[in-house]
Structure 1
Amino acid sequence: MNNLDRSKAAFVAACFAALALLPLLTGSYGVDLVTKIMVYAIFALSLELLVGATGLVCFGQAAFFGIGAYAAVLLSPASEAAGLWWLLPVSIVAAAMYALAVGALSLRTKGVYFIMVTLAFAQMAYYVVHDTPLGGGTDGIYLYVKPALGSLIDLDSSLTLYFFTLACLVAAFAFLAVLLRSRFGRALAGIRVNEQRMRATGFSTYPYKLAAFTLSGGIAGLAGFLFAVKDGFVNPELMSWHLSGAVLIMIILGGIGHLRGALIGAFAFALLQEFFKSEAIFGAFAKHWHLGLGLTIIASVALLPRGLVGLPGQWRERLVGRNRVPSASKEALGEA
């Protein structure tokens, strides 16, 4: 591991340590807000595996998120706590199985057609829960009793849910970091850079892309499960294309191609939302928070083409550029 990799690992470790200490410094509102952001960070990591690592721009990621959430609610007993040991894996597997089916068909297309097919499958899932009694229609469904693991883990406690979500975030990040450093991850990187060359070297790229798509769906299902447990409520909006667009903005804002960029982007996007929604800062204009958020994202994309994660590199390049003396000037100084 070189110095750059060590600095990146140290930064991520420091972020996770800060999150672990945060409940000591904030109240219940802060704990609830950061829990939601960590759920979105897991969701962003799932899309980063597709977009940043494999080069597949998916616009139906919300479907897998929503399926994980709905599975958590629909499979939970109405009068007692479901077993966390089985409900969590089943929710993840349900999302992964739908991702497997969607990927098996959509990965036969490319480019904008792939984007549209994934969006179509997500809208199909949306209308299933929106227009049928299965998902409670537009009213959604409540989760009356949150899952538990005996007396060890009771997710009805906000602090317990906070640290459980943090543990899931760390596990998802570590899993993807190890995966992307493996032979499988290097194959995905090759597919992203030049799929035709990968095929020419003997790789059958379709199974790799399908495996990545399925894993991405499972991780999104994990985020959906945590979201349902946190809010105690699910509705069809969890599968809407708006959420797929929002999570895509998160990884663009943070910096595509970097796992830590997905984390930074999720936190930046959610905190910007809270900032522009604040009536204490913007007064009556807070109801138009979409405008402020949109302008900020446009400015970020224009000024930070590599995302927030590339900001230190841009600063270093500018600093070096200012300190560098042109060769013609050096010759002139030498002659003088």
Structure 2
Amino acid sequence: MIGTATPAPARLSARLWLALLIFACFAALPVIAAVTDDPFLLLIGTRILAYAIAAMALDLILGYGAMVSFGHAAYLGFGAYAVAILNSVGVTDLVLHIAFAVTISAVFAAITGAISLRTRGVYFIMITLAFGQMAYFFFVSLSAFGGDDGTPLPARSTLFGSQALEDDRTLFYVALGLLIALFTLATRIVGSRFGRVLIGTRENPVRMEAIGLAPFRYQLTAFVISGCMTSIAGVILANQAEFVSPAFMNWHRSGELIVMVVLGGVGNLTGAIGGAVVALLLEDWLAVLTEHWRLLFGVFLIVMVLYSPHGITGALDRIARGRR
């Protein structure tokens, strides 16, 4: 985690500067794609942006609230199917797709959180996994939307009545804008009184109760916010792939989100974004080298956990301190 041994303002500054650098690199990607005449870069970039939102949303509860949700990919699926379901009834606007996805996710997260937060540890993990799998099998059973095979979208979402998102560059910049907006929101949440109570609950829930606070309400609220943010990533993924499938929401996908958070640095919103970038780039690069890329990725993850328990941002922090 960045700034483990430095004052809080310095840590915050380092994280914000790193986030700004990542956003600047993303903003330059369409220019690079145009210069290299490689439009595929935009599709990869949009996919990374979507997963960066999902990883950041998961870190909000995992890193700051110690809630290890193993069913968080369900909200990716809600976002994706919100696009497909509304498109099927003639509602094509992106804003309405996001609103529908957020509403469904808020209800599901409230129910899941209300039950799972009454437990701790492995029981919490298993209950969130069970809810995630129930959502997965529900959409597998929807034959109207292709069942297990999924269904292609007739077109991408419209943007205030226009077909602007059919242009990959516009979709990319919309995804980047959503990532920046949600990062700003998450940063404000973490830095607020709400965020401090959430962190305090992570450290010592008994003490929080002793001073008159109700950890359950704060944790449940954070859980719902995280699920809603993740569903927005699902809307982006559906538009990027122009296809929806229950595969968006199986438990393997939840595991991948946890890996991204751990790789970047738990309890570090910037690290979650960086972890998503590194994980997906490594996946693409290693898949080109060998069909056994998962083995190499596993070795890389083990080395990172052993030698940098605070992830990539923790390693960068140690390098920065070594230069002072």
Whether the TM-score (by the shorter chain) exceeds 0.5 is yes
State the Cα distance separating 1:81 from its structure 2 match. Answer: 6.5
Unaligned runs of 5+ in 2: 1-7
State the Cα distance separating 1:300 from its structure 2 match. Answer: 1.1
Q: What SS does the aligned partner of 2:69 have?
A: coil
State the Cα distance separating 1:142 from its structure 2 match. Answer: 1.6
Separation (CA, whole Å) in 2 of partners of 1:173 and 1:291: 32
Change (3 A) 1:201 1:66: same
Alignment partner, residue 327 of structure 1 = none
Q: What SS does the aligned partner of 2:87 have?
A: coil
Alignment partner, residue 319 of structure 2 = 315
CA offsets 1:169-216 (integer angstroms, 9 cap, x no match) = 001100000111111111101011111111111111111111011001
Contact 1:81 1:148 in 2 (8 A): no
Contact 1:57 1:115 in 2 (8 A): yes
Contact 1:65 1:95 in 2 (8 A): no
Q: Does 1:29 align with 2:37?
A: no
Q: Does 1:177 align with 2:181?
A: no
State the Cα distance separating 1:240 from its structure 2 match. Answer: 0.7
Candidates 40, 50, 60, aligned match of 2:51:
40
State the Cα distance separating 1:77 from its structure 2 match. Answer: 3.6
Separation (CA, whole Å) in 1 of partners of 2:84 and 2:165: 14
Q: Does 1:246 align with 2:256?
A: yes
Separation (CA, whole Å) in 2 of partners of 1:317 and 1:18: 24
Separation (CA, whole Å) in 2 of partners of 1:34 and 1:57: 27
Alignment partner, residue 20 of structure 2 = 13
Alignment partner, residue 127 of structure 1 = 137
Identity %: 36
Q: How many residues align?
A: 313
Alignment partner, residue 199 of structure 1 = 209
Q: Which moved more, 1:212-221 or 1:97-106?
A: 97-106
Alignment partner, residue 215 of structure 1 = 225
Query: Which of 1 and 2 has higher RCO (CA within 8 Å, sep 6+)?
Result: 2
Contact 1:81 1:146 in 2 (8 A): no
Candidates 70, 92, 100, aligned match of 1:59:
70
CA offsets 1:35-80 (integer angstroms, 9 cap, x no match) = 10010000101100110011111100011111111111111147x6
Alignment partner, residue 139 of structure 1 = 149
Candidates 294, 300, 304, aligned match of 1:296:
300
Output aligned runs, 1:262-301, within 5 Å. 262-278=272-288, 282=289, 286-301=290-305
Q: Does 1:168 align with 2:175?
A: no
TM-score (norm 1): 0.89
State the Cα distance separating 1:288 from its structure 2 match. Answer: 1.1
Q: What SS does the aligned partner of 2:166 have?
A: coil
Counterpart residue identity of residue 89, structure 1: A
Separation (CA, whole Å) in 2 of partners of 1:232 and 1:106: 33
Q: What SS does the aligned partner of 1:144 have?
A: coil
Contact 1:92 1:221 in 2 (8 A): yes
Q: Which moved more, 1:68-77 or 1:236-245?
A: 68-77
Alignment partner, residue 326 of structure 1 = none
Change (3 A) 1:153 1:181: farther
Change (3 A) 1:180 1:93: same
Alignment partner, residue 334 of structure 1 = none
Separation (CA, whole Å) in 1 of partners of 2:110 and 2:307: 37
Alignment partner, residue 73 of structure 1 = 84
Change (3 A) 1:302 1:270: same
Q: What SS does the aligned partner of 2:154 have?
A: coil
Q: What SS does the aligned partner of 1:145 have?
A: coil
Alignment partner, residue 330 of structure 1 = none
Counterpart residue identity of residue 96, structure 1: A
Alignment partner, residue 225 of structure 1 = 235
Unaligned runs of 5+ in 1: 321-336
